[in-house]
Structure 1
Amino acid sequence: MKELINNLKGDKGIWSFVMLLALISFMPVFSASTNLVYVIGKGSTIGYLVKHLVHIIIGFGLIYLVHKVPYHYYRGLSQLLMPVVGLLLVYTFFQGTVIDGANASRWIKVPFIGVTFQTSALAMIVLMIYVARYLAKVDGKEVTFKSSFIELWIPVFMILALILPSNFSTAALIFSMVSMLVFVGKYPIKYLGMVIGMGVTMLVLFVSFAKAFPDAMPNRVDTWMNRLERFTSDEENEDDYQIEKAKIAIASGMVYGLGPGKSVQKNFLPQSSSDFIFAIIVEEYGLVGGLAVLILYLMLFFRFLVTAHKAQSLFGKLLIVGLGFPIIFQALINMGVAVELLPVTGQTLPLISSGGSSIWMTCISIGIIISVTKKEEEIAQELQEKEDREAALQQLIDEHILREKAREEAEAEGLEQPAAFSIEDRSANPMSAVFGK
């Protein structure tokens, strides 16, 4: 175990906060799983706990493997994976209608192992790396709107077009994060404004087309509109069931909570172990527990800011921003939905909610970020070793000068000369560590 810990390179703060969030997840997931066991009648609580443990172990295995890969390799890998992601999204769009009663145009089933996989999560990672690669490539060069639109924005809009019909919240999150990333990457503001205007226009056209021809293609436009109407309306609605139960859970928790495993609303709240797990955390651990989780995400966000600032290359900075910030924003969106600051979106709480693909994609993002910080540590270590060698060399020169000066003074006074300095005198030579014995 000690050897394994010593092999964990990169920013220790990020490692620590990710591990803490993963550890925190076990009790809420175990507690909320009773909804699936006793209300829906699926599996056992221990079974769900073991399943979540396996997901976490695989996730940390992915972090370990990914952080070992030099991050500049992902620059070329993103170009290779963009067509693959596009094909996966096309397949996902057409492959089915329902999985366990839910709209299936977000997931695909992995053959032979029966695991469902949300392709939009992988698409976000690949797309953010692709955008970071482009911004690093054009850094310091004059960018025209035509060239950037062809190379940057057409791939972005194609990916978004495949995600939007079935998952508006993820498409909106990806577009927001790409816009933020190109802003950080010093993409011309006037071009960014034009692109945002085009994006809004295309969204309006899509919604209008879907409303006019509802059977033309699979979409969830009516679901989005109903959620927005319910969110902005003051009237009571039967479909507000999830939000009402989440609010009851949060109100019941008060300051210190009901205690671990003592949630009542987990038996009535759908998706209590995934989309609304934050409400269960607050009910069982109170305002203190909810704030502790929020603070952990904010501290992780701070580590992302610090490591992005320290990164030597623009590509490394943009990778941390592009992959790290969406994790934090997704967490804030999940919490905002639970307390009714935002309409229902279906975004999970990263590293805490149950679900294999969401945990694994988050872990891959974390692994790439740690890979960047690992490289910066290696550079800093090389610089420190160089400084140490230079300092040792300077000390050797100074000692040689002092010995020569002492010899000259002795000769001038006719005294016995001190022993001449010898480079072979390794015992007194601080440079022995530099040159070797």
Structure 2
Amino acid sequence: MAEKTVATSRLKGDGIIWAVFFTLCLISIIEVFSASSNLTYKTSNYWGPVIKHTLLLGVGVIFMIATMNIKCKYFKLVTPFALLISFISLLICLFIGHATNGAARWINLGIIQFQPSELAKGSVVLAVAQILSAMQTEHGAEKRAFKYILILSGVFLAFIVTENLSTAFLLGSVVILMMWIGRVPKRLIGNLLGCILISGLLGIAAIMLFGTDQKELERNDPKLAMTEKVIDSQQATEKKEEKSVFGKVLHRMDTWKGRINEFFNNEPVPPEKFDLDTKAQVGYSNIAIASSNMVGKGPGNSTARDYLPQAFSDFIYSIIIEEMGVEGAAIVCFLYIILLFRTASIASRCVNTFPALLVMGMALLLVTQAMFNMMVAVGLAPVTGQPLPLISKGGTSSIMNCVYIGVILSVSYSAKKKDDMSVGKKQQQTATVSA
């Protein structure tokens, strides 16, 4: 009994969550080291990318431990400050955001690029959990909770969606799932889903109407593929974006249209005619998966990593399949499923509503993004810029994902549990009988 107490004091939180976290981090270091061949070629530093990534994970672990040692009841005090910082940083990013791969999602801080949407995701989940817990009744959440959540999340999603549609979609999905778990009236959620469906269809129609798929234009008119034409087109677009904020906000429509066309284009293309220059991500991802031969080539033996863009980030799951085979890929997927179900078990044992909703929201942020990333890698979803949580090489995302794990660990050991109350009652009854 004494040994168990000492072990628990040294390692706070749920042991299974710790095991899943460190296993994912270990896989991350191995696969980032393997998949960073392009980075090592550019920097002429073979160990540089993996050392930097490992140090970043170390910083994330420090943040995780710091978060884990905050008792869950104090997270309510953090909510307004987190929301304010998220709002200001998103506003700054809208006007002077640093663009990478055509998307201005970052604020350049010199040492690291800060991505405000990562902080905003956690802030919104904190706020939604607090609203739902404060407005719980015997028959579920009050109707006012739905209105407050809709206004709050709508403001932040409006900032995020212009530069990061997939992040906005995933965060919106998590908010809806939290409302369902938080017992918001099903009729209100149904009405919201109907409105989202109609808005989504109208949005897709607007993208297809006003967006420009440069690749499609070049296929229809080869003359547009000339270098001078492309440069002139890019310069015209840049001038248009400089004139108004409206043009800057909507410039991603061209990218969205290209990805939609590419995803729904089911026309069979012979291997010799497949354009690897314009479809490098999809093409080399498929090559990586197909060349695994089910059993994998072994860690470090990937060949597609030398050609696949973002092999160390957005498409790292393809490299995992190539090197570790279907079995290794299934293990990675299963780790996220364990994380979700173990978190659900922790939430079900919480006495109070706030920690239960908070821990589920954090787990859903990680698992929904992971599943979406895997779906993109295997061709079940359009290409997006979503990294694989706790595995892909990243900056802000890696640190914030560690913070989310820290929140889960904090709830797992500091929140009041039904089991603890039952034990306390039994001890009290035993003491009464003995007296």
Interval containing the TM-score (normalised by the shorter chain): 0.7 to 0.9
> Between Structure 1 and Structure 2, whose CA radius of gyration is higher?
1
Q: Aligned partners of 2:146, 2:338: CA distance in 1, in Å?
A: 36
Report the alpha carbon displacement of residue 53 of structure 1 after superposing the two structures with TM: 0.9
Q: Is the 8 A contact 1:27 1:260 kept in 2?
A: yes
Q: Sort the Cα spacing of 1:230 and 1:212 in 2 relative to 1 into closer, same or farther, 3 A.
A: closer
Match of 2:69 in 1: 68
Q: 1:181 aligns with which of 145, 154, 178?
A: 178
Instruction: Report the counterpart of residue 90 of structure 1 in structure 2.
Output: 91
- Aligned length in residues: 388
In the superposition, the TM-score normalised over structure 2's length comes to 0.82
> SS where residue 104 of structure 2 aligns?
coil
Q: Structure 1 stretches of 5 or more lacking a match?
A: 398-437
Residue from 134, 146, 151 that aligns with 2:148: 151
Quote the residue 1:119 is aligned against. 116
Is residue 168 of structure 2 the alignment partner of residue 171 of structure 1? yes
1:24 corresponds to which of 24, 27, 30: 27
Work out the percentage of aligned pairs sharing the same amino acid.
33
Query: Which ranges in structure 2 are unaligned for 5 or more consecutive residues?
Result: 213-239, 241-245
CA distance in 2 between counterparts of 1:44 and 1:152 reads 48
For residues 56 and 270 of structure 1, what CA distance do their matches in structure 2 show?
22
**Does the CA-based 8 Å contact 2:97-2:106 persist in structure 1?**
no
Are residue 234 (structure 1) and residue 266 (structure 2) matched?
yes
Shift of 1:313: 1.0
| CA–CA distance in structure 2, aligned partners of residues 197 and 378 of structure 1 | 37
Q: What secondary structure is seen at the aligned counterpart in 1 of 2:305? A: helix
Task: Name the amino acid aligned to 1:107.
Answer: W
Range moving further from structure 2, 131-140 or 234-243: 234-243
Distance 1:109 1:173 in 2: 24
> Alpha-carbon deviation of 1:373?
0.9
| SS of corresponding position for 2:247 | coil
Which residue, 376, 384, 400 being the options, matches 1:345?
A: 384
Deviates more, 1:89-98 or 1:28-37: 89-98
CA–CA distance in 2 between the matches of 1:123 and 1:207? 25
Deviations for 1:292-319, whole angstroms, at most 9, x for unmatched residues? 1111111112211211111111111111
Change (3 A) 1:173 1:392: same
CA shift, 1:256, in A, is 2.4
Give the aligned partner of residue 361 of structure 2: 322
User: TM-score if structure 1 supplies the norm length?
Assistant: 0.82
Q: Distance in 2 between matches of 1:286 and 1:350?
A: 20
Partner residue, 1:37: 40
Distance 1:213 1:35 in 2: 31
User: How far apart are residue 387 of structure 1 and its match?
Assistant: 4.1
- Does the residue aligned with 2:291 lie in a helix, a strand or coil? helix
Which of the pair has the greater relative contact order for Cα pairs under 8 Å at 6+ separation?
2
In structure 2, what is the Cα distance between the partners aligned to 1:339 and 1:74? 37
Which deviates further from its counterpart, 171-180 or 207-216?
207-216
> Structure 1: how far apart are the matches of 2:108 and 2:129?
30
Q: Distance in 1 between matches of 2:175 and 2:198?
A: 17
Distance, in Å, in 2 between the alignment partners of 1:138 and 1:56 is 37
Provide the rounded CA distance (Å) in 2 between the counterparts of 1:33 and 1:231: 27
Q: How does 1:195-234 map to 2 (within 5 A)?
A: 195-202=192-199, 212=210, 215=240, 216-218=246-248, 219=250, 220-234=252-266
Which one of 283, 297, 316 corresponds to residue 244 of structure 1? 283
